[in-house]
Structure 1
């Protein structure tokens, strides 16, 4: 017999899985919106703003300790208007109040984010992250803190006007002032390379010390730098070695799920052994193309396998009905972090044959000490060659046994209670996954990846594109929330990558519609660059213009890349001017901290050395043959479009790229184009040299 929950609040009508997790708390939570904000103003009660996400471990801990506790809830309900926000649905609010936390406390924030706001203008006056129910770790008890905050507000509310002005001024200054007439040069590219080597952890790979994040943008920058140095004739082998070592160690470690594929959020140690077990769509979407690129650049099949298993994980575990991709898998199951992924030695031994167990035990060191809370979490300690020598068998037999062991363990694990899945579909993260699957599908020859990318694009276009504007989030048939800069530009970038895999009627037109919406509603026409929110977005205490890469690439960096590529491809000077304006807006920050602006560095690189575009027109097998030739080598600055001869009306300069014979190639570098090439031998010669 089912029982009605003892409590319900206004979150019960929401779609966000994170908000629904709190719908039956005794706390009188409300979603962010005019109703809650008006109530706070009318009653002059401060707002307790709590921001988190469904896969967040410490969000769960604070919920269990405090928000599910009736005594704590009674204090919160009496003193505050309580508002819950899913940071993945409302990254605008999260960016603003994470920034405010940094300004108020002098240190970085995180989740859960706990902020107390002035009800009159929503300015934060106290901020923190996780607070325990009882005092510990140098933190006060949450209810004691809440009482002190409410008491302080009652005594000092009239003093907050000056505080609000000062905080507003500080946040405004964070939006970069544009560079003047300075020449944009390549110095930050070299400086970033030096900074990456300085931060490189040479024993285990990666950058900095634990907790260690994968930083796919850093790895992409190193691969691009290596390629550029090779073209110049002074190959930077160290750059390639740093990228390769990091990619290898992450994939051999516990950051990568050795049984089911896909990457966890970060490693809690320097060895990449034990992760924070949540799996985010965006991490995998960003790592997937880097591994595929590394496989192409180095010829190392190991990277191809990791890319393939990452894509397979996404298709198997993260797809929503209709083809979109869901957001995250929780770190916890059965009330324990990592429970789904860890083993006892006895469990493993019971599932495997003696020969299989011998190989798995040596590779995963099951004969050593447990590495996670008395259990074993798979981490590759020994290569197959080492294991084969240890057991006195050949490497082929070791590989056969190991793959059989992996499959048996994977099938057995699938019968366990699975971690929760946040099944909302986010436009921005799907744009990243479309790009990753399209690139990996093309480089690895995976038709299933390409089909999945196309289906995800069609899902977004059908379900989240309304009258020339994009929506940010979809769940259970409901599309919600005005889209942000990242949604538009990540999706446009994904389409450009998908078009390089194969041409579909309507896809380029959709990318151009997205870009035109960005120029119309997000561009800062005075200072350059793009705001995170549109000009008709809800008015908040700050309109950020983020340039730094964080967990996601900078929307401004991706916007500049997309605009440069489309501008050169179509001969559209508006796009080129907007890209240059973005680089100038970010220039002072890029020069001061190039390492933190890797997405904009890629745009800078392509501004200084314009992308080489290859437009092919032709028929059937001949067109496919020319396309494969153009895309055979790793060349991140080359864009290849193979457009069937029968394709409909094309925009801009593409309209002049007319078909002739079985195939024809139009090769350009920036605005400089070579004579069309009409023979396969001539095309091969052109690809070997600089055609401009």
Structure 2
């Protein structure tokens, strides 16, 4: 019989609705029962694409004996960390404090009835294994500790709350002299941590870190630092050629389990691919590297093909993720045997594909399968095979098409079809940016459909909701939802100007300032002022797998101020930067998104306003979009535009003209494209 999760919208929670565990979703009913019965809470946090979450569920939560013990000793609460990032933030931080180790998923936390954690871990096997305590033994021990050591738990809880209270950044309301020092320090740290052979930072496991790469590109544009450019470009090249990138279907997996980007953890997350799509476009504008355009195109096509619903139920929103597993095996959808490959390709195709993707070497996945990664440069491969490069690449593309078509008939990984506002915003921004750079109207239209869906479905009475599925939008939105969507709207305004989109951006910014800003210290809380009371209200500036909401907000508010002439947005951004400046100086490498916003404030944004009629206007827009101008906004306004804010209300002529503005000052209009490009 289904448990209490059966009424939820989260695919992750619904995966557990038939467990014999008496699961509750997080809410008043579960918390009240824990207090009434004086029972500890077993809090399990995960997400639908998480491999080890599935393993622990199969080993323990589906086991009637384990479930019986859990039900007897605890109030059991299951949380989707993608729907409740506020809870995940709090209890991941608590895990670090209690265990002195990094957290992860599944996160397993034992709480007192008043929500205070007293023991935390991640994955536990059902029986002792890997040097780990078995889950069955663990829960018995924890229940005994709760009964017998209340005083110790109380003292630990007091220390934990004190530690939570110390971690808030404090601006003190005093003016801080902002300087580029932490940017330079972060860049030095990136160079020191850079893997010169394989790209990326550090060793295995290796994550993409798009905000850090973006900062490297921006510093190259600002200072001409070739080493910073190499860090970004070499990393993107190695990722694009590696197994972290789906060589057949497009899109990046979450991370590589090795330092070579060869074997990924196979889950694909929307939040990675949005920023990487925009980053590939930026890198192309600097290098004109065809690889970046090809990978951006394949990634955008994957998103529109597999991650964007076209039906009336979702009508434009992007889905959240693809699972790592299919048929209960990680990576099974993506890997191949040599026999499968030879059966699909002609001898000539195999002769080219084998050395290109590494089929001519030993298997690279679990000793029996091959996962595609590019091992040979096409020019060198063509020379090796004694054929011209064009014919060689034709064979590779034919092989890719055949393998992709065959793979489409396999059992697919699970897809989490909830639509998250924040992750959608990251993809909207990436799709709009790449669409503008590569002049792909279908990508821009994809972004517009998604933002229209959010505005129609998840924007109610001047407030955002965080998640949507099966006709139900719910949960108060978080800082990231507002900040990312504000930044995405500004990106879309540049890709395809719309007064409606700009108006939506101002509404988002107003809600952000009203409901999230810390007016005393500066910066923004992760939850709104009217959010559910929890044991901690976080206000953080460091990047995680997703960019810092405070960093994105500070960046986007500065840009919105330039577009609207509203100084209060820039002032809120300044307060945010001053609040987090000490943290940026103390740990520059962890604050790349805030450092991008800091650089934006130190190098005032230039707004380039294009007005005129087609086709000249489109030609000017394309010429500017193809240049890397990270400190500039390019706003192209056609003759049909109405209700322009004063900053953008430039006169319309019968030919294209450009105004280059910094702050409130605009230069005389330029009527010659070559002259405009020369000034930039």
Which TM-score band applies after superposition, normalised by the shorter structure?
A: over 0.9
Q: Structure 2 residue aligned with 1:126, among 119, 127, 132?
A: 119
Q: Is the 8 A contact 1:114 1:127 kept in 2?
A: yes
Q: Structure 2 residue aligned with 1:314, among 303, 307, 310?
A: 303
Query: Which runs of structure 2 are paired with 1:403-418 in the superposition (5 Å)?
Result: 403-418=397-412
Q: Structure 2 residue aligned with 1:86, among 58, 64, 80?
A: 80
Q: Is the 8 A contact 2:499 2:643 kept in 1?
A: no
**Correspondence 1:36 to 2:25:** no
Distance 1:494 1:365 in 2: 38
Q: Which residue of 1 aligns with 2:96?
A: 102
Q: Is the 8 A contact 1:50 1:114 kept in 2?
A: yes
Query: Which runs of structure 2 are paired with 1:353-372 in the superposition (5 Å)?
Result: 353-372=346-365
In the superposition, the TM-score normalised over structure 2's length comes to 0.97
Query: Which runs of structure 2 are paired with 1:577-596 in the superposition (5 Å)?
Result: 577-596=571-590
Once the two structures are superposed, residues 9-30 of structure 1 have per-residue CA deviations (whole angstroms, 9 ceiling, x without a partner) of: 0001101000000000000001
Q: Which residue of 1 aligns with 2:532?
A: 538
Once the two structures are superposed, residues 479-528 of structure 1 have per-residue CA deviations (whole angstroms, 9 ceiling, x without a partner) of: 01110011111111111111111112311001110110000000000000
In the superposition, the TM-score normalised over structure 1's length comes to 0.96
**Correspondence 1:300 to 2:275:** no
Q: Which residue of 1 aligns with 2:137?
A: 144
Q: Is the 8 A contact 2:541 2:591 kept in 1?
A: yes
| Alignment size in residue pairs | 674
- What runs of 5+ residues in structure 2 fail to find an aligned partner? none
Distance 2:646 2:474 in 1: 34
Q: Which residue of 2 aligns with 1:262?
A: 251
Distance 1:236 1:92 in 2: 38
| Shift of residue 587, structure 1, vs aligned partner | 0.6
**Correspondence 1:208 to 2:202:** yes
Q: Which residue of 2 aligns with 1:324?
A: 317
Query: Which runs of structure 2 are paired with 1:413-424 in the superposition (5 Å)?
Result: 413-424=407-418
| Shift of residue 575, structure 1, vs aligned partner | 0.8
Q: Is the 8 A contact 2:499 2:644 kept in 1?
A: no
Distance 1:452 1:285 in 2: 12
**Correspondence 1:53 to 2:43:** no
Q: Which residue of 2 aligns with 1:248?
A: 237
The answer to which of 90-99 and 381-390 deviates more is 381-390
Q: Which residue of 2 aligns with 1:688?
A: 678
Once the two structures are superposed, residues 430-456 of structure 1 have per-residue CA deviations (whole angstroms, 9 ceiling, x without a partner) of: 001001110111111211111111100
| Shift of residue 652, structure 1, vs aligned partner | 5.0
Q: Structure 1 residue aligned with 2:395, among 393, 401, 412?
A: 401
Tell me the secondary structure at the aligned position of residue 198 of structure 2. coil
Q: Which residue of 2 aligns with 1:22?
A: 16
Q: Which residue of 2 aligns with 1:285?
A: 274
Once the two structures are superposed, residues 214-255 of structure 1 have per-residue CA deviations (whole angstroms, 9 ceiling, x without a partner) of: 1111111111111111xxxxx221111121111111111100
Q: Which residue of 2 aligns with 1:171?
A: 164
| Shift of residue 391, structure 1, vs aligned partner | 1.7
Q: Is the 8 A contact 1:49 1:83 kept in 2?
A: yes
Q: Is the 8 A contact 1:572 1:652 kept in 2?
A: no
Distance 2:640 2:355 in 1: 57
**Correspondence 1:185 to 2:179:** yes
Q: Is the 8 A contact 1:441 1:450 kept in 2?
A: yes
- What runs of 5+ residues in structure 1 fail to find an aligned partner? 1-6, 230-234
Q: Is the 8 A contact 2:439 2:622 kept in 1?
A: no
Q: Structure 1 residue aligned with 2:382, among 388, 391, 396?
A: 388
Q: Which residue of 2 aligns with 1:271?
A: 260
Q: Which residue of 2 aligns with 1:340?
A: 333
Distance 2:639 2:247 in 1: 45
| Shift of residue 158, structure 1, vs aligned partner | 4.6
Q: Is the 8 A contact 1:521 1:535 kept in 2?
A: yes
Distance 1:664 1:303 in 2: 31
Q: Is the 8 A contact 1:629 1:684 kept in 2?
A: no
Distance 1:562 1:247 in 2: 25
Tell me the secondary structure at the aligned position of residue 340 of structure 1. coil
Distance 1:368 1:632 in 2: 40
| Shift of residue 626, structure 1, vs aligned partner | 3.0
Distance 1:68 1:557 in 2: 41
Give the superposed CA RMSD.
Answer: 1.3
The answer to which of 185-194 and 41-50 deviates more is 185-194
Q: Structure 2 residue aligned with 1:195, among 178, 189, 198?
A: 189
Q: Structure 1 residue aligned with 2:496, among 491, 497, 502?
A: 502
The answer to which of 388-397 and 121-130 deviates more is 388-397
Q: Which residue of 2 aligns with 1:461?
A: 455
Q: Is the 8 A contact 1:251 1:306 kept in 2?
A: yes
Q: Which residue of 1 aligns with 2:613?
A: 619
Distance 2:413 2:236 in 1: 26
